[in-house]
């Protein structure tokens, strides 16, 4: 079967995931906003990664109130608002550093439907619609919205259902975190590992022995235009 859609991971694939140092620096500032112990807050943010990725702590406001509460804090609305702004600002900054726009535009010109499948906390789902990336995609499936994460088939299916395509028609591209490549392959997708340097936030997948590229641009050599333009097209 030919391929008609490309599904992408987000962090480490289309944009940097941010270094641990960067993330901790923001957590220290957020702790200050919320009036809780900075070191304990950094630990708590990391320790709640899974719950936040699955959207179990609610909206960003609810998440920050809950985390502060666990450390004995009770921030007022203005404090939570400052903290929310800081978390959203960090996310927006990461997504602004995308290296993928030209490749995405070319894939769209070639006729491919594009979807995002991302394991991420609620901040990303909030910021995504405002980004230059979002307008290139037909749909985005976020773990924090759907309550499941890769490699759960339901998250990939959330994207393919909107596109109206079967998994066998999809190429999946990711830097290999979340066991995302075997998960995509198990559904029948063509899974491609983006194994590239400078990937500061994502997790490499050393167990993946399937197809791999080292730059996103290499996709353009693998995915031909879906139609030949007619004269005057």
* Contacts to Mg ion by CB under 5 A: 9, 11-12, 175, 177, 202
Rounded Cα gap, residues 38 and 31, in angstroms: 5
Least CB distance from residue 188 to Mg ion, whole Å? 21
Nearest to 152 by CA among 188, 125, 178: 178
Backbone angles phi, psi at 173, to 5 degrees: -125, 125
Q: Least distance from C-beta 202 to Mg ion, angstroms?
A: 4
Q: Which residues of 27-36 are buried (b: 16+ CB within 10 A; e: fewer)?
A: bebbbebbeb
Find the shortest distance in angstroms from Cβ 11 to Mg ion: 4
Q: Which residue lies nearer to Mg ion by CB, 112 or 193?
A: 193
Q: CB of residue 219 vs Mg ion: minimum separation in angstroms?
A: 16
Task: Specify burial of residue 119 (Cβ count, 10 A radius: 0-12, 13-18, 19+).
Answer: buried
Tell me, what DSSP letter sits at residue 133? T
* Planar angle of CA 149, 153, 154, nearest 5 degrees: 70
The CB-of-36 to Mg ion minimum distance in angstroms stands at: 29
| Residue with smaller CB distance to Mg ion, 9 or 24 | 9
Distance CA 168, CA 191 (A): 11
CA dist., res. 45 & res. 49, Å (int): 6
Residues written for the chain: 233
- Looking at the Cβ atoms of 63 and 143, the one nearer to Mg ion is 143
CB of residue 175 vs Mg ion: minimum separation in angstroms?
4
Q: Which is nearer to Mg ion, 167 or 202 (CB)?
A: 202
Nearest to 107 by CA among 224, 15, 8: 224
Q: How far is the CB of 193 from Mg ion (least distance, A)?
A: 11
Distance, CA of 116 to CA of 123 (rounded, Å): 15
Compare residues 12 and 55 and give the one whose CB is closer to Mg ion. 12
Residue nearer to Mg ion on the CB measure, 11 or 208: 11
Nearer residue to Mg ion within complex by CB, 9 or 169: 9
């Amino acid at each position: 079967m030919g391929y008609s859609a490309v599904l992408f991971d987000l962090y480490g694939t289309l944009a940097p995931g941010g270094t641990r140092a960067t993330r901790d620096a923001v957590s220290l500032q957020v702790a200050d906003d919320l009036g809780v112990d900075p070191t304990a807050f950094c630990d708590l943010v990391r320790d709640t990664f899974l719950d936040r990725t699955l959207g179990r702590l609610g909206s960003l406001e609810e998440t920050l109130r809950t985390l502060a509460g666990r450390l004995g804090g009770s921030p007022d609305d203005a404090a939570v608002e400052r903290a929310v702004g800081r978390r959203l600002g960090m996310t927006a900054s990461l997504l602004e550093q995308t290296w993928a726009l030209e490749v995405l535009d070319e894939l769209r010109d070639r006729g491919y439907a594009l979807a995002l499948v991302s394991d991420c906390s609620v901040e990303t789902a909030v910021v995504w619609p405002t980004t230059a990336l979002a307008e290139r995609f037909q749909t985005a499936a976020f773990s924090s919205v759907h309550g499941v994460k890769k490699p759960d088939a339901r998250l990939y299916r959330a994207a393919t259902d909107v596109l109206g395509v079967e998994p066998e028609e999809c190429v999946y591209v990711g830097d290999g975190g979340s066991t995302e490549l075997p998960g995509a392959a198990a559904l029948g997708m063509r899974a491609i590992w983006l194994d590239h340097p400078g990937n500061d936030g994502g997790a490499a997948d050393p167990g993946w022995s399937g197809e791999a590229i080292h730059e996103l641009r290499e996709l353009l050599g693998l995915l031909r235009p879906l139609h030949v333009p007619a004269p005057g097209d």
